[in-house]
Structure 1
Amino acid sequence: MGAMSFSYPVAVKFSEIDLAGVVFNSHYLTWCEDAKMAFLDDVGFGPYWFAEHGRLALVRHAEIDWTASLRPLDHADIRVVVERIGTSSFTLRHEIWRRGESALLTATCVITYVWFDTAAGAKAPLDSHFREALEASRVA
């Protein structure tokens, strides 16, 4: 069983560049959050669903491995893949690929999210429909 890849475009802005002339580290997490929300919307669980159902997907753990730099005006694609589905959490792998004649992997961000019930103020088991949507996105 292969993984279906969801892709989210990013255009590097000058305001995201640090003194070394490359993207400041924290912007990668911001991009991954945007890509996560677009991915979840694509599988039927956009931000309005979360608000209406009193749920959040909170970051529990994040790891980033950088393999190349992005510079101003570069264009990249964040490929989002479901890596793991747990009882009350799920893990997404975000691969950030620089576009061009030969695509280049610039970073991989693996982020675990915990399903949070806002009314109870605590983590909760994943919604069964949400779980099904994540599982369906893993099928090629």
Structure 2
Amino acid sequence: MARQNFAFFHSLRVRWAEVDMQGIVFNGHYLTYFDVAFTEYWRATGLPNALLQASEGRELFARKATIEYMAPARFDDVLDIGVRCAAIGNSSMRFIVEIFIGDDHLISGELCYVYADTKVRKGVAVPAQWRAIISDLETHKPAL
């Protein structure tokens, strides 16, 4: 996906502890980067955070995460992490996450969540208000 297709970005600087002996970010850290950016995306929506969701007995459960590596990031690089809601089903949501340095596209990923009742661990309908708020965020002019 092109950088301009994202309405939300979060910047993150690669720390020394995140690089491996090859001098590049160790592959497992990209899921942490995705999670940090997704958390900031969610914060930008103003929707209930994980603690509030849990207190209501419903939460977003991670269902699937994928990563595709195109080019490595290195120590002290400032990464721009784009997050975009690609689809909302009845109880699931799919997000595209991509990492850039400037216009260089390094990493692509996908995060799938299921909104679920925490007691029975079964999916429940994504609230209409959530759909509207996410749609509103996605239709704003991209933040480049």
Deviation of the 1:128 alpha carbon: 2.0
Residue 83 of structure 2 aligns to a residue whose secondary structure is strand
Deviation of the 1:93 alpha carbon: 0.7
In structure 1, runs of 5+ residues without a counterpart are none
Question: Per-residue displacement from partner, 1:93-139 (whole Å, max 9, x unpaired)?
Answer: 1110114xxx3111011111111221333221112211221222222
In structure 2, runs of 5+ residues without a counterpart are none
> In structure 1, what residue type is equivalent to 2:73?
L
Deviation of the 1:56 alpha carbon: 1.9
Does residue 47 of structure 1 match 2:82? no
Q: Note if contact 2:54-2:118 (Cα within 8 Å) is conserved in structure 1.
A: no
Matched residue pairs, number? Answer: 136
RMSD of aligned alpha carbons: 1.8
Measured at CA, do residues 73 and 3 of structure 1 come closer, stay the same or move farther in structure 2, by a change above 3 Å?
A: closer
Q: Which residue of 2 aligns with 1:30?
A: 32
Deviation of the 1:80 alpha carbon: 0.7
Q: Which residue of 2 aligns with 1:123?
A: 123
What is the TM-score with the length of structure 1 in the denominator? 0.87
Which residue, 64, 74, 78 being the options, matches 2:77?
74
Q: Percent identity at matched positions?
A: 27
Q: Note if contact 1:7-1:79 (Cα within 8 Å) is conserved in structure 2.
A: yes
d(CA) in 2 for partners of 1:24 and 1:134? 31
Residue 94 of structure 1 aligns to a residue whose secondary structure is strand
Deviation of the 1:38 alpha carbon: 1.0
Does residue 57 of structure 1 match 2:66? no
What is the TM-score with the length of structure 2 in the denominator? 0.85
Runs of 4+ off more than 6 Å: none
d(CA) in 2 for partners of 1:52 and 1:115? 14
